[in-house]
Every structure is written in C-alpha cells, then in structure tokens.
Structure 1
C-alpha cells in the first residue's frame, strides 16, 4: 500500500466534505503532494505505471485526440490534439505535433498513474505524471473521441508492481535572481553574439547567473522591464490583431507550447484566461511580480519575447511571435511588443 490506511481515510473524508475542490488544492489543505493524493486511489481508480517518457509517450501517441495539461504554480496550459512525432532522449525529449508541442526533461518524470473514475458524465480517464516531490509535471486527459483501448493497453504494459518503492522527496526551494557583477560585461558581449535562442540558458549558467538575473543585468539593449499587467495587454492585443504567437508554460519536467492565434480573452477574478476551442490558458495575474521585454539575436533576426516571473523568481510564462521553418514572419508580434513597451514606459 502506497499510502497508510489512516491517510486514506483522511483523504476520503476531505473529498466528501469539499467535493468541488481541485485535487491540487485539496492536497495542499492536507499538507500532502498531489501524487500522494492520487496514490491513495492505487488499486482502485488509480494504477501506478512507469513514468519514463521513452516508454510512456509511445502509448500516449496511440490515444488519439486528448487534452495535454502542463502547469506551474501560476499558470495552467491546456492544449487539445494528438501526440505525434515523439523523439526520446536521455536528457531531453520532444513531442513535435501540430497541436501538442512539448519539451520533456525525463529525470523529473518520477511517479506516474493511469486514473480511471466514474462520474456523472461517464468514465474519465487520465495519465498523470509527477516529479520526485509529488508535484504535477504533465497530465493527459482523454475525452469522448480518445482511444480507450490504447489507455488500457498502457496500463497492461506499464503497470508497476505493488511493492515498488514510493517515496516523496522534499520540494526544492525556488532559485532567486542570480547576478555575478564581475561577469556583466561578458554577459552583454556573449548575448550580442548569440545566433540561436537555445544558446541562452547554457550561456547564463556558464556566467554563474540565471534567466531572471540575466534579464536584470544585461541592460536595456536586450531587456526592458514592463509593468506587471503587460502580459494581459499582450494577450488582448494579440487577439485583437489576430497575431500568430507562441505561449510557453512549464515546470522543471515539461514545457508546453501553444503556437497560433488566441481569440477569447476572459479575465475572471485574479485569473486571466484564454478560452479557445482547442487551447486554454489560466494565468494567475496576481502572481506576476516582474515582466520583461527581451530580445535575443538569432540568424533569422531578433527573437522578441514577453517573460513573466513570480515574486520568488520563478518563470511563469513566455510569449513570442510564432516562428517555424515555413512561417518565420513575426513582424506583427515584434511591432506590437515593442510598441507596447514604448507606450507603457512613456
């Protein structure tokens, strides 16, 4: 048994008393990780399965049209589509479908469950993956058009023995902005020489900094701070101008990317939302502590992004103009983002 009988009883009582509370929030009220909450259903609604994406993803690719969900503390990114073009790697893997676009970091895929439960709307099926601390890394929700047989096949192939260890590690503390004052000139020089955005993180790590620290240190040629509501403005103007954009939301184990326009922007209390038929974004706007307009040199011209961080220095999301080999025109986004900066900083 993964969770003690006393804890299972406590979880059952809490669910009965607060039936509408989301699993993540229910876990927090009980002082548990979300993975422990799901593990309490092991042997019933939940089956523990192999978390390794090299084994798991080929099964998910057979499940048809599903909803992919990746989140962090402040943003939830939901994209409907079919998982296609999975590329496994020891340190990084990718799903490169037209709708489902993921960057996967396998060492953080530690615990996984296939969950099947009866509801008033019928059977709900999902695959849920968690990191070592039991925080959600990635989820796949099946719907009426998904392949239930492929879900069952994944359970048959990937089920973990009942006696396999199940340990939850301490959650890592967030890393604050890190700047090495002695290397700021080197940062500016190397930033100017970038030819691809993928060079950025290796560069700042080599210079003993991190993303937020580099944004703060590099200077206005490459990074300018915006008001915290600039993300909402960027979403609203992108929708109004029907711009093709990219929205990145991630955690340590997975980054999920939406590429294309956004249409229906709906603020609801502290949440800013995109509520489109195939893409939803739920953003806690009140968690945003810093927003930066960032420009990175590439062979195809500057990659301009709007980047939001929380009060502890964690990246919440990034927005870019849509770039792909067959669609490299980002002038609309670039003009909007730079014009936004000129307007709000005036």
Structure 2
C-alpha cells in the first residue's frame, strides 16, 4: 500500500472523472490506484453531483453514533488493508467515552477509539438499484475507520435528521496527514522470563496489552517471545482451517476485525465459505467476511488466563506485523473458556519454531 504525502491529493475534478470512468471500483481500490486518500475521493463529491453527493459531517463518535441509532437497521462495515467485516443490525446501545467507546447492539458490536475519527461524510450514490446512502468516517490520513450503509428498511427520516443536525456544508476542503506506519513486532529477549511470569498472573484478557506495553513490547513481539504454552505459531493455512472447522461444527464464534479507529465483532455461527481468487469469503445472512488469504504471513494460537477460564484465540498477522483478524470461541459474560473451540484449535497444525 502506498503512503500519500501529507496534505496532498489529486484535483477533485480528476477524482470525479476517475470515478465516472470506473463506477464499479471500490473506493479504497480506486484511491490506491490514484495514490490518493480514500476520504479525498469522497470529499471530491461535496456539492458536485456526478451521480454521487457527499456532505461533510461532525466526525465525533459522541455526535455521530447516536444519530446513526435513528436509522433503524443498517449494515456496519469495518476494514483494514487485508480484511473486511460486515454485519447487519441497529446502533441502539451506545456507551460513550473520550478514549474508548462501544456499541453493544445485536448485530452491531463495536469498540471505537474516538481520537482516530477525523473526517466524516454522508454519501448518496446513484446506482442501477437506486440511491445508496452511507455514513463514512475516516482517520487523519483519510483511511476509512468505519462505514454505515442504509438498507431497504432503514429510516429515511432519521437520515435527513442526521444530515441536518451534523452536516457541515461550509467545511473547508480537508487536509490529510501521512499514513502512520504499522509498528513492527517489538520484543525483548532479556525480558522473556518476566513476560511469561506476568502473563501467567493475568486474571482478565484485557490486561494483556497493558502488560506488554509496560514491558516495551507489542502484541506480535510478545507472542514471539513467550512461546508455549502461551503462544504457539500455526501454519498460515490455520485461518482457513479455523473458519472451515467452525462452519462444519456449527457452534458460534467471535470474529474481530479492526483498525486504529474501530474494531467490529461478529458473535455467532459461520455457515459457509466461498473462496474467490485471493479472497476467502463468508457470505452468511447478516454477516460477511472478506479476507485476503495471500496476505496472511503469521498465525498464532494464543492462550490468556482469566478468572473465568483460559481464553483461546487464533490471530493472523500481515508481513509488516499488522493484525488482520482474531477468532475466539463464543464467550459469555461469566465464561471465557470454550471447550468446543479448544477442541477445534487442537486440530490446527503448530509450527515447531514457536519462539523467535
């Protein structure tokens, strides 16, 4: 993925022309071909028409998410460079927070990090099937952090209310910061024993990132340092094997896909897998997943001790260390340990070199 320069973007007229010339291209793919931030492609259509109309919005989640709650049932989408997750539901249960916030509605389960929500737009795009309406939020570099697409049963009065309350028609043209590079794996062999000792003392999986940060490590670096029984490296095909195993066995799981600004979670079964070229797709009612399998460089089976039993996960990383997705057993509030998921995990191929 190229890294656009700070503040730079092609001329809006050129962006609109590129969209007209390739109307079926996904915004992110088209923006990458043009070496432009995705948000610039959207901003080029502010007040312009050309089959697509965009309106700048207040991007703060505390303002935006409650208004999205007035849209009734919608499709929520979060992605990173390698994976896309889409779920259907309502934004009804909103918990605000300055540093972290949550939506915990059936079908829409989000962890939101507001400081990365820098730009937002309402978008109306003319398609052969009618007008497609969406709310799209972007970070300071212009990369999408979260999108919301209206469905046939969504509330159009709520849509107009959102645009009226949060629209900024006179907002200046956006400037964009350089894309922050992905942090490579950070470990410290001299602290490996301390890491394992502190890992064994965990009582909640949410303590993990605080622990590794205190040790000047990060997630992937800690996995490489800890080794068994905490982290076991799996063959790259373990992601497909996990999803296939879940589809075959029929029990629910939790799939986490995110970026710096938002993590979206599917909690439920996985019914079918549809490979297509480099993409591995789940196309279930109310839940879609699109994974670039060819970009999975490392997969880890991770066990974190908690008061409610050990939490097991399968986690995939790209070659640059970017976290692609995580798959957990379906955890309940009082239970983190999921024997069915453990049994599936034990069928996965473990590579012999579990410590770098």
TM class by shorter-chain length?
over 0.9
Q: Which runs of 4+ in 1 moved over 3 A?
A: 3-6, 326-329, 341-345
Which of 117, 122, 126 in structure 2 is aligned with 1:114?
122
Q: Which residue of the partner structure matches residue 47 of structure 2? A: 43
The question of 1:130 aligning with 2:130 is answered no
Which of 75, 82, 104 in structure 2 is aligned with 1:74?
82
* CA deviation after TM superposition for structure 1 residue 22, in Å: 1.1
Query: What does 1:251-270 correspond to in 2, within 5 Å?
Result: 251-270=259-278
Separation (CA, whole Å) in 1 of partners of 2:20 and 2:169: 29
When the two chains are superposed, the root-mean-square deviation of aligned CA atoms in Å is 1.9
Separation (CA, whole Å) in 1 of partners of 2:86 and 2:19: 25
Q: Please, which moves more after superposition, 16-25 or 227-236?
A: 16-25
Separation (CA, whole Å) in 1 of partners of 2:351 and 2:30: 42
Kept in 1: contact 2:235–2:350 (CA 8 A): no
* CA deviation after TM superposition for structure 1 residue 196, in Å: 0.6
* CA deviation after TM superposition for structure 1 residue 198, in Å: 0.5
SS in 2 for 1:267: strand
SS in 1 for 2:250: coil
Q: Please, which moves more after superposition, 132-141 or 266-275?
A: 266-275
The question of 1:299 aligning with 2:307 is answered yes
Which of 89, 103, 116 in structure 1 is aligned with 2:97?
89
* Distance verdict in 2 for CA 1:35–1:342, change over 3 Å: closer
Q: Which residue of the partner structure matches residue 25 of structure 1? A: 29
Kept in 1: contact 2:8–2:175 (CA 8 A): no
Deviations 1:302-328 (A, max 9, x none): 100000000000000000001122776
The question of 1:236 aligning with 2:244 is answered yes
Separation (CA, whole Å) in 1 of partners of 2:8 and 2:352: 54
Separation (CA, whole Å) in 2 of partners of 1:84 and 1:5: 36
The question of 1:14 aligning with 2:18 is answered yes
Structure 2: gaps (5+ residues): 1-6
Q: Which residue of the partner structure matches residue 324 of structure 1? A: 332
* CA deviation after TM superposition for structure 1 residue 289, in Å: 0.2
Kept in 2: contact 1:53–1:109 (CA 8 A): yes
Deviations 1:39-65 (A, max 9, x none): 001124000000100010000111111
* CA deviation after TM superposition for structure 1 residue 167, in Å: 1.5
Separation (CA, whole Å) in 2 of partners of 1:175 and 1:49: 30
Separation (CA, whole Å) in 2 of partners of 1:221 and 1:64: 45
Separation (CA, whole Å) in 2 of partners of 1:71 and 1:78: 9
SS in 2 for 1:168: coil
* CA deviation after TM superposition for structure 1 residue 183, in Å: 1.3
Separation (CA, whole Å) in 1 of partners of 2:175 and 2:8: 13
Q: Which residue of the partner structure matches residue 230 of structure 2? A: 222
* Distance verdict in 2 for CA 1:322–1:180, change over 3 Å: same
Kept in 1: contact 2:235–2:351 (CA 8 A): no
TM-score normalised according to structure 1 size: 0.95
The question of 1:183 aligning with 2:187 is answered no
Deviations 1:168-227 (A, max 9, x none): 000011111001222111100010000111001011000000000000000111000001
The question of 1:335 aligning with 2:343 is answered yes
* Distance verdict in 2 for CA 1:259–1:135, change over 3 Å: same
* CA deviation after TM superposition for structure 1 residue 107, in Å: 0.0
Q: Which residue of the partner structure matches residue 308 of structure 1? A: 316
Structure 1: gaps (5+ residues): none
Separation (CA, whole Å) in 2 of partners of 1:176 and 1:335: 31
Which of 101, 107, 111 in structure 2 is aligned with 1:103?
111
Kept in 1: contact 2:113–2:260 (CA 8 A): yes
* CA deviation after TM superposition for structure 1 residue 116, in Å: 1.2
TM-score normalised according to structure 2 size: 0.93
Kept in 1: contact 2:310–2:336 (CA 8 A): no
* Distance verdict in 2 for CA 1:81–1:220, change over 3 Å: same
